[in-house]
Each structure stands twice: as structure tokens, then as C-alpha cells.
């Protein structure tokens, strides 16, 4: 019998990245954009990569195209719908089935996403005898999606700072006060619930060195929930967080 690692190296892999999903999951949980080389390296541990593509609206994520290309990842443009909803899931399903029809030697699929809309795709791939793996931020992958995959690959940054103390220095308190004021101003202006990841982008733009984990919070949503004037709610899958003003 061949050694497990030898069999693993013979795997031929196709990787499909739902860029918006992993981008916002990483911002929400780690306070930073996903490291694409880490994603690629994690995939390579499962075997040889025949195809690796990232699906997203590259008008919105234009600044990330260079890092995609330097990581050897092919960007596939998926425009937003009229309601500004991502169409990446539809494109990924079509591209996955087309690729498998044209390349019978691909036996393993890695889906970088936590969206439960991919359940039918994974079921179909498994019925074709393909190995299916999910990659995503822990806690940001639909439990229903996990049950139909062969395995889960955990994505996390190279270095995660964990600090138990929530004591803040004077300078840190000033930053927190500035953040609170700017977030409240944004919520007042928009007059609606806002995706926490969108707030994370604004924070990174105004305070590049800010990291919510330095204040003892595992998620940005938990950090925001600490403000008395801000309320945080989740979607039905408990994956996407939204912030609004307390009425």
C-alpha cells in the first residue's frame, strides 16, 4: 500500500476562490486582508495545482489584482448584479463543471468560501467521485456546507496576536474614541445597517495600524458591539455581521 503522503502528492487540484467571501471574512475576524500566498501554500499541501482562480468584482477590488497575479492566481471578473449582489457563486459553479468536463485528471476541488449556496455544487462534485475541501476563516463557514465536504482547511494569517488584557493606554483610548465617532457618523449618514467588513475597510484606511485583537477581541464585530451606541446583528447563518445605531 502506498504511503498517504505519496497518494496525496498525486492529487491534481483545482482551486476556486470566492474572493469577496474570504476578503470580508478575513477583515471581520483578523482585521486584515487575506494573504493570498498563504492560501496558495495551503492548497499546495493537498497536491499539485492544475488551476487556481479567484472570482470577484475587480472594479471594486482593483487594488488586489496585483497581489493575485504575484501569487499565481488567475482573476476572473464577476460583475455585481443590479442589486449590488455578488455573482461569484454562479460563475464558480459554471467554471467548476466546465473545467472538470475538459480535464478528467482533476480529482480534488478546493473551494475557498463559506457560503452555503455552494452546497449543490459540492454534492454534485462528490457524486462524480471528486474530493472536496473547503478553506475559510474558522467560524465563517456555514455548518451546512461543512457537512457535505470531505474536509476543511483553516485559513489564518501568519501571525495572530492574542492579548488577554483589555487595558488601554492613553493613546489607544484616543484612537478608540476617534473610531467610535467616525463609525457613528457613517451610520448616521447611511441610515441603514452596514456590513461590519465595510466598516473594517474604513478603519484600515484611516488607521492602518489598528488591530482589534490588540484590545482582546477575536472579531471586529465583537469590538464594535462594545460601543454603547452601536448594535451588531448577524444574518441567519451567523456568518455576516451588520452594524447599526442603537435606537
pLDDT at 219 over 50: yes
Tell me: pLDDT of 107 over 80.
yes
Out of 3.40.50.1100, 3.30.420.610, 3.10.129.10, 1.20.1740.10, which CATH number does the structure's domain 170-245 have?
Answer: 3.30.420.610
Is residue 234 predicted with pLDDT exceeding 70?
yes
- Could you tell me which of 96, 102, 13 has the C-alpha nearest to residue 55? 96
pLDDT band, very low/low/confident/very high, at 164 (cuts 50, 70, 90):
very low
pLDDT digits (tens, 9 = 90+) for 11-69: 899 999 999 999 988 988 888 889 999 999 999 999 999 999 999 999 888 889 999 98
Cβ proximity of 229 and 182 under 8 Å? no
Residue with the larger pLDDT of the pair 153 and 162: 153
Does the pLDDT of residue 81 top 80, yes or no?
A: no
The two beta strands, 230-234 and 241-245, are antiparallel
**Least confident stretch, 43-47, 66-70, 206-210, 230-234:** 206-210
Domain parsing of the chain, residue ranges: 11-154, 170-245
Q: What's the CATH number for 11-154? A: 3.40.50.1010
pLDDT band at 108 (very low <50, low <70, confident <90, very high): very high
* Alpha-carbon distances, residue 91 vs 55, 61, 68, 156 (angstroms): 8, 17, 18, 26
The per-residue pLDDT for 170 is 62
Q: Given pLDDT bands bounded at 50, 70 and 90, which one contains residue 218?
A: confident
**What's the average model confidence in pLDDT over 135-163?**
84
Amino acid at each position: 500500500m502506498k504511503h498517504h503522503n505519496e497518494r496525496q502528492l498525486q492529487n491534481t487540484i483545482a482551486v476556486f476562490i470566492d474572493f469577496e467571501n474570504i476578503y470580508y471574512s478575513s477583515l471581520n475576524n483578523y482585521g486584515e486582508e487575506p494573504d493570498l500566498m498563504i492560501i496558495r501554500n495551503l492548497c499546495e499541501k493537498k497536491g499539485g495545482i492544475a488551476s487556481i482562480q479567484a472570482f470577484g468584482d475587480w472594479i471594486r477590488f482593483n487594488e488586489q489584482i496585483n497581489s493575485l497575479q504575484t501569487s499565481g492566481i488567475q482573476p476572473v471578473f464577476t460583475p455585481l448584479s443590479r442589486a449590488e449582489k455578488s455573482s461569484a457563486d454562479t460563475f464558480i459553479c459554471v467554471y467548476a463543471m466546465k473545467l472538470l468536463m475538459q480535464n478528467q485528471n482533476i480529482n480534488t476541488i478546493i473551494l475557498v468560501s463559506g457560503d452555503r449556496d455552494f452546497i449543490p455544487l459540492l454534492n454534485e462534485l462528490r457524486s462524480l467521485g471528486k474530493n472536496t475541501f473547503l478553506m475559510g476563516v474558522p467560524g465563517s463557514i456555514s455548518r451546512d456546507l461543512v457537512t457535505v465536504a470531505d474536509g476543511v482547511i483553516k485559513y489564518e494569517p501568519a501571525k495572530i496576536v492574542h492579548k488577554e488584557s483589555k487595558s488601554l493606554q492613553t493613546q489607544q483610548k484616543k484612537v478608540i474614541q476617534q473610531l467610535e465617532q467616525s463609525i457613528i457618523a457613517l451610520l448616521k449618514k447611511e441610515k441603514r445597517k452596514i456590513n461590519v467588513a465595510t466598516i473594517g475597510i474604513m478603519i484600515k484606511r484611516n488607521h492602518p495600524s489598528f488591530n482589534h485583537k490588540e484590545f482582546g477581541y477575536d472579531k471586529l464585530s465583537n469590538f464594535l458591539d462594545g460601543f454603547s451606541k452601536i448594535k451588531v446583528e448577524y444574518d441567519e447563518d451567523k456568518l455576516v455581521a451588520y452594524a447599526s445605531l442603537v435606537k
